[in-house]
Every structure is written in C-alpha cells, then in structure tokens.
Structure 1
Amino acid sequence: MINLTLPIAPVAAGRPRFNRNGHAYDPKKSKVFKRQVESMLKFMYREKPISGKPIEVYVAFYREIQSSISKKEHARRANHEHMPIHKPDTDNYIKSILDAMNGILWTDDNLIVHIDAYKYYDDNPRIEINVKEWIK
C-alpha cells in the first residue's frame, strides 16, 4: 500500500512537559522532529489519508553508528549483527513516528491493528515505513 523511506535520523518521543496551567506539550526535540517528518510526508505522500479500514504498520529505525567504537564493532553494527539494545526504547521511537504520521497517512491511529518495529545501527540514518491494509 504505502512504502516510504524518510532520510532523517529517528528521534524518540520525549516525556510530555507541563506548563503552569497543567497543559501537556512536547519537548522541543520531539516537536522539531515531528514537524520535519510531517513536512517530508506531505511532500512524499499526496494521497488521501487511509480511513475506515484496519491497517498494519511496519517500521525500521536506523540510528547512527557511534564514532567512539572500534572498526570491528563498527562493521558488526553496519552489518546489523549487533542490534541497539540501549535507550532510546523502540516503543518511544514508535510513538514519535506514529504521532507525526497521524492525519497524513491515515485519519487516526486507531486504525492500526498491528505494528512491527525494529531498530538498527546504520551508517545511513533513516526511517523505513510500510503501511498496508490488514488482511485476516
């Protein structure tokens, strides 16, 4: 149905902050990331948002390989032999990207009945998204 690759490093959703009136808002880093993703999506996807049918979402988050590791470890991470098992959590990446896609790729994220998500290290940070209609 929809296959997109966003050339942007993934950013995990930050904990909501609260103003003096008790209203919640996104931390600056999360807010900037969501705006960038929304802008890219609007450019890349010009169809109407999916509505009224269950969907599956598959997302792969490719985060940058740190420069402070050995060449051997860099090669392991680049070949996806060593997976990122440290923070940020995969679910925080998911929350961040789903919030940004809401209203652009689909009308509401309550349409999502299945999610598969992975996080990898890579020399080319990006987010790969695959959305398809759920079929029993």
Structure 2
Amino acid sequence: MIKLTIPSEPIAQGRPRFVSRGKFVSTYDPPKSKAYKELVAQYAREQYHGKLLEGQLYVVLNVFRSVQKSISKAERARRLSGVHRPTVKPDIDNYFKAVTDACTGIIWRDDALITDVKMGKFYSEEPRVEIYVEEL
C-alpha cells in the first residue's frame, strides 16, 4: 500500500473558469486550485518513487481541516476528538478531485483507474491530506 501525506491546508477543486475568444471557449483551473494541485504533485513526487500504477485502484482519502478560531474551547475539544466532524463546504468530492487530478501521471496513469474509494473529513491542529493507494 502506498501512503502519501500532503502537509498543508486542504483546498478543494474550484469550479472551472471559462474564457471566450471569438467562437472558441476554453476552460482553466482557478488559480487557487491550480496552485494546490502543483503542491500536491510536488509532495507526491517526493514521497513516491515507484512505477505508474496501471490496474484497478482502491484509494482512501482523509482530509484534515483546521479548526476555526472563533469557537469555544469545549467545541474545539469536540471537533479535535472527532465527536463533531466537518459538515460545511467544501464538499468532500471536490477535495478528492483536486488530489486525484494532481497525482495523475505521478502515481497512476489515469485517475479513471480508481474503482473503489473511502473518504473522510476531520478536524485537526495539523491540517493535511492523507492518501492511501492500493492496487486491486
């Protein structure tokens, strides 16, 4: 099993932006999403030195967000203990999209190879994303 850690505040994939030039319309990633994908790719290259995975993949993605500063000590403790987990935006699938797109060409040939997924959102004093990948 491959384990990667992205030690940074997680950023979800943003909505694509559109540019119209005459008859042609093209899309691009928002700058914040693009920068985060580059950061994830950098950490993936540093932590994974194997061959590109080609088979069916099982991916576990755990997102650890920072706890907001403007809450009580009791609520902070509940969040850090896992009693209260993030139920606010961004959606977990947008985190997944940002991370898996960034790992394409570094860990796997194509993120279409991912057939099974388990995801979770948590609070932590150390914001990060943990990725576990297993070839089935």
Identify the residue that residue 123 of structure 1 maps to in structure 2: 125
Q: 1:31 aligns with which of 31, 34, 51?
A: 34
Q: 1:101 aligns with which of 100, 103, 113?
A: 103
Normalised TM-score (structure 1): 0.95
CA deviations over 1:19-65 (Å, ceiling 9, x no partner): 123110000100000011111111111111101x1110000000000
For residues 71-82 of structure 1, what are the structure 2 equivalents within 5 Å?
71-82=73-84
Does residue 67 of structure 2 align to residue 65 of structure 1? Answer: yes
Q: Which amino acid aligns with 1:27?
A: P
Identify the residue that residue 41 of structure 1 maps to in structure 2: 44
Identify the residue that residue 3 of structure 1 maps to in structure 2: 3
Q: Which amino acid aligns with 2:92?
A: T
Query: In 1, distance between residues paired with 2:125 and 2:113?
Result: 33
How many residues align? The count is 133
Q: Which amino acid aligns with 1:4?
A: L
Report the 3-state secondary structure (helix = DSSP H, G, I; strand = E; otherwise coil) of the residue aligned with 1:19. strand
Report the 3-state secondary structure (helix = DSSP H, G, I; strand = E; otherwise coil) of the residue aligned with 1:129. strand
- Quote the sequence identity (%): 44
Normalised TM-score (structure 2): 0.95
Structure 1: any 5+ residue segments left out of the alignment?
none
